[in-house]
Amino acid sequence: MTQTVAEAPTDVLDRLKAVVGPSGYLDDPEEMAPYCIGWRDRWNGRAALVLRPASTAEVAEIVRICAEHRVAIVPQGGNTGLTGAGQPHEHGEEVIVSMGRMKRIREVDPLNDTLTVEAGVVLAEAQRAADGIDRLFPLSLAAEGSCQIGGNLGTNAGGTQVLRYGNTRSLVLGLEVVLPDGRVWNGLRGLRKDSTGYDMKQLFIGSEGTLGIITAAVLRLFPKPTDAQTAMAAVPDPEASVRLLAHLRKELGEAVTAFELMGRICLDHAFAYLEGHEDPFDAPHDWYVLTEVTGQGAPGTLHDPLAEALAAAFEDGLVRDAVVAASGDQAHKLWSIREEQADAQKPAGASIKHDVSVPVSRVAAFLAKADAALEAAYPGIRPVSFGHVGDGNMHYNPLRPEDWDDAVFAAEREKVNRIVHDIAVDLGGSISAEHGIGRLRLDEAEIYKPAEELDMMRAIKRALDPHNIMNPGKMIRV
Ligand SMILES: Cc1cc2nc3c(=O)[nH]c(=O)nc-3n(C[C@H](O)[C@H](O)[C@H](O)COP(=O)(O)OP(=O)(O)OC[C@H]3O[C@@H](n4cnc5c(N)ncnc54)[C@H](O)[C@@H]3O)c2cc1C
């Protein structure tokens, strides 16, 4: 299989420019630079051209020309991905297809509870469109003001409400995709039941742009909750947090929408380095849970049931202290401690970031084993753990020991990754629960994924993209 694609000759680039017209491309290196660099400044590539198509027909024509001349394509949404999947390589021969101009809401169907949107619609815009018809599109993440539906689909994004609504895979009923030969697959079906063979849309969701360019999607909508209650609970340890989750689900059922765990160090960072945060408790505790329950009752309906469930958990020793937010403003303040963790952690020094998942019942074992193994290898290392414990997904970002230099610690990345990922996988887990493989975890995917699974992935990639023009060198090597 052709592994590396060709450098695009000038006449091919000219044909591509003609497809989108003068307002649809960038070829000045300075103007292309923001499209070539990733959110964490880590992946800084070069592109031959940035194309900004305005329709599915334009995307299809671009892909046809690229396929004919074996020019590699990097599909790009809001460029908020964290694994280098959305940026070009350093050789400068790829073209970026940036989807931001395809931002039409094509159809709103309140009775089918669906929204059909183009791939360049920003996530927050999709949420607003759902809100406009009194529905909820529940995908929610800190980058929602910039990331696009196409990127959310490309990465199978998660976020804070996966516990109740599932991740992107569960929120999509149909897709329209430009295939690597330029044909358009119209799979924009708004069906909840369809037993007619392979579920092709699921192949494209989470494929990181390696199988085609998604141009539109049918999204699932839900009743908009009319009541939401937020609480922060101090818990003795992660095991208690998992038991508290089971207890809350028993008492409150599906109303438990979010359930996040944070170590004390997360709160310390927020108080030390960010403005406007204060400790909601009188005394410090080792671990905290932030939970949200939502429902369809009158505002405030769930306040007392949540407080009572937490009080019962206190009696059982699962909770040491708890606050139930008395207002939307207080709820927002509690949530901001969690949502601003990426910024809160930065000033504390270099950290090595992980996005692992394990079965929920093994979260505590994962944290205990990983903390112990890292402390043995790097005495004084400071584990920072926060995340979506309700989905078994932890952002596990150990910080350098206080007396280490940032660069010296960063050089240990591979060894630290190996320790953490060995433990996660031994516990039946995954090395990436949300952010994906991209370039960041490409080598590790080959270590940790079963050979049979890698073979199936390669077979699918070869079948759909025989010339390897779709985002080569990302997610899977062929
Ligand atoms: C502050 C912050 C918080 C975040 N929080 C979360 C979180 O809670 N949960 C989570 O899952 N992620 C999170 N992320 C990661 C990121 O926001 C998500 O992965 C998001 O889904 C990426 O969307 P994007 O539009 O920016 O995609 P991009 O970064 O542009 O692209 C991501 C991948 O999708 C592919 N792609 C983009 N558009 C298309 C398309 N139309 N067709 C085919 N492939 C396409 C790209 O090639 C690339 O492989 C966070 C990132 C930041 C910066």
Please compute the mean of the pLDDT values over residues 143-157 and round it to a whole number: 97
- Separation CA 137–CA 171 (nearest Å): 8
The residue to mutate among 56, 80, 464, having the most atoms of ligand 1 within 8 angstroms of its beta carbon, is: 80
Q: What secondary structure letter does DSSP report for 400?
A: P
CATH 3.40.50.720 fits 105-223, yes or no: no
- Separation CA 232–CA 326 (nearest Å): 12
Is the predicted pLDDT of residue 169 greater than 50, yes or no? yes
Please compute the mean of the pLDDT values over residues 260-279 and round it to a whole number: 94
Contacts of 209 (CB under 8 A, 6+ apart): 73, 74, 75, 76, 85, 86, 154, 470, 471, 474
Which listed CATH number (3.40.120.10, 3.30.43.10, 3.40.50.2000, 3.20.20.370) goes with 10-100?
A: 3.30.43.10
Q: 349-437 has which CATH code?
A: 3.30.70.2740
Helical residues (DSSP H) of 117-263, grouped into ranges: 123-132, 149-155, 162-165, 200-204, 238-252
Q: 227-343 has which CATH code?
A: 3.30.70.2190
In the chain, where does the domain assigned CATH 3.30.70.2740 lie?
A: 349-437
What was the pLDDT predicted at 5? 55
In the chain, where does the domain assigned CATH 3.30.43.10 lie?
A: 10-100
In the chain, where does the domain assigned CATH 3.30.70.2190 lie?
A: 227-343
What was the pLDDT predicted at 40? 78
Is the predicted pLDDT of residue 434 greater than 90, yes or no? yes
- Measure 433 CA to ligand 1 centroid, in angstroms: 13
- Separation CA 76–CA 151 (nearest Å): 7
Please compute the mean of the pLDDT values over residues 443-465 and round it to a whole number: 97
Question: What ligand 1 atom has the least distance to the C-alpha of 158?
Answer: 11
Please compute the mean of the pLDDT values over residues 278-298 and round it to a whole number: 96
The string of pLDDT tens digits covering residues 338-390 is: 989 888 988 999 999 999 999 999 999 999 999 999 999 999 999 999 989 88
Question: What ligand 1 atom has the least distance to the C-alpha of 141?
Answer: 8
Strands laid side by side in the 227-235 sheet: 321-324, 227-235, 287-295, 256-263, 385-388, 393-396, 355-357
- Separation CA 173–CA 176 (nearest Å): 11
Q: What is the pTM of this model?
A: 0.95
Closest by CA to 353, choosing from 408, 399, 417, 397, is 397
- Separation CA 220–CA 35 (nearest Å): 30
Which residue has its alpha carbon closest to ligand 1 atom 39?
Answer: 150
- Measure 25 CA to ligand 1 centroid, in angstroms: 22
Q: Is residue 222 a contact partner of residue 136, using CB atoms and an 8 Å limit?
A: yes
- The model's confidence at residue 2, banded by pLDDT at 50, 70 and 90, is very low
Q: What is the mean pLDDT of the chain?
A: 96
